[in-house]
Amino acid sequence: MSSWRSLFIVLAALLWSSDSLFRKPLTQDLSSWAIVFFEHLLALVFVVPILVRFWPKIKTINFRQWWAVIYIGIAASALATVAFTASFSYVSPSVSILLQKVEPFVTFLLAFIVLRERLPHKFWLWASLAFVGTYFISFPEIVPQFALYQKGIIGVILALTAAILWGGATVFGRYLLNDIPHILVTALRFIVALPFLAVLLVFNGGFSSFALNSRDLLFLIIIMLGPGFGAMYVYYRGLKVTKASVAAILELVWPFSAVILNWIFLHETLSVVQIIGGLILIGAIARLTIWPARNETLRPSPSTVGGLDSK
């Protein structure tokens, strides 16, 4: 039975919900590449001690495991986070966050293809329902006028790209966790992403193309300590004493609370159709992930991110 410490998962979800409150304003001053680069740079405060502590374990990582680490670092920690951040410039952060809930379906599919795991019962039924919800969130006018909706489509594509990359990282993270502690997987993910982000930043205007003011630095530190490393720490602490099925329920606090916070503080509202679409999508995800014990091993592992390493 889960103890009161399961509430740490709720706390982590609330921290993830606060991410857009600080990430959205940063997009006004910094490029998506710069925001994600500085997130990873600041995280070195935690990453370096972890790498030093686990150095003997790092030396035992084999070739296949390194390929998985590289994918997680470049695809999930770098590219997915950049795509997620960039989507804020085209669509409401609430839309981007709701679209991230397609990630479990991507994870199940890739686990089926790569790890040969069985798909949950009635997977395609719930996947189809989730697609309907995703469509309503993306195109609240039901029949999209593509000529007038180009900017919104770019945002939807960026958000879904992030979800797909994070879904793939979950599968590779599950593979790594067979032999490597999750705290080391997270540290390796950050350290691998950092030089990749630095190179891409140079090719996208370099460090002279922006001015990092005191507010930006404060927001970046808050993101790293709160929705980033801080959220992951309390999340894993709660997960130690929480069943996967219960954790799946508690994690749904994230999209609901994020939409409410964005509505209040960023004035990012959703239409009635988008709210209905969000409820359909979250309902389909809940039905698929909150499954009997026989399917708990198929639930997406919290090894990498998503969301926000979440997440």
Q: What is the pLDDT of residues 71-107, one digit of tens each?
A: 999 998 899 999 999 999 888 898 888 888 787 777 7
The two tokens of residue 196 are 């990749």
Residue entry with tokens 């080391």: 184
Q: Which domain covers residue 176, as residue numbers?
A: 4-298
- Return the sign of the alpha-carbon dihedral for residues 174, 176, 181, 187: negative
Task: Using pLDDT thresholds of 50, 70 and 90, give the confidence band for residue 49.
Answer: very high
Q: In 263-281, which positions are buried (b, 16+ CB within 10 angstroms) versus exposed (e)?
A: eeebebebeeebbbbbebb
Position 306 in a domain = no
Q: Which residue has the tokens 């959220």?
A: 231
Residues 6+ apart with CB under 8 A from 275: none
Q: Is residue 96 part of a domain?
A: yes
Establish if 310 belongs to a structural domain: no
Report yes or no on 195 lying in a domain. Answer: yes
Residue reference for tokens 């509202």 = 269
pTM (2 d.p.):
0.81
Burial class (CB in 10 A: 0-12, 13-18, 19+), 210: middle
Q: How far is CA 120 from CA 124, 152, 195, 244, 298, in A?
A: 9, 33, 38, 15, 7
Whether 1 has a pLDDT exceeding 60, the answer reads no
How many structural domains comprise the chain? 1
By three-state DSSP, how is residue 211 classified? coil
| pLDDT tens-digit series, residues 128-170 | 888 888 888 877 765 555 554 667 788 889 999 998 898 888 7
At residue 310, the 3 state secondary structure works out as: coil
**C-alpha 48, offset from chain centre:** 23
As a whole number of Å, the CA-based R_g of the chain is 19
* Alpha-carbon span 67 to 172, nearest angstrom: 9
In a domain, 308, yes or no: no
Asked whether the predicted pLDDT for residue 213 surpasses 80, the reply is yes
Question: Is 143 within the bounds of a domain?
Answer: yes
Residue 60 pLDDT more than 50?
Answer: yes
- Any domain includes 265: yes
Which range, of 132-141, 242-251, 279-288, averages the lowest pLDDT?
A: 242-251
The answer to which of 53-67, 95-109, 219-233 has the lowest mean pLDDT is 95-109
Q: pLDDT at position 177, please?
A: 77
pLDDT at residue 219 tops 90: yes
303 belongs to a structural domain: no
Higher pLDDT, 33 or 236: 33
Instruction: Give me the pLDDT at residue 247, please.
Output: 63
Measured CA to CA, the distance from residue 54 to residue 172 in angstroms comes to 20
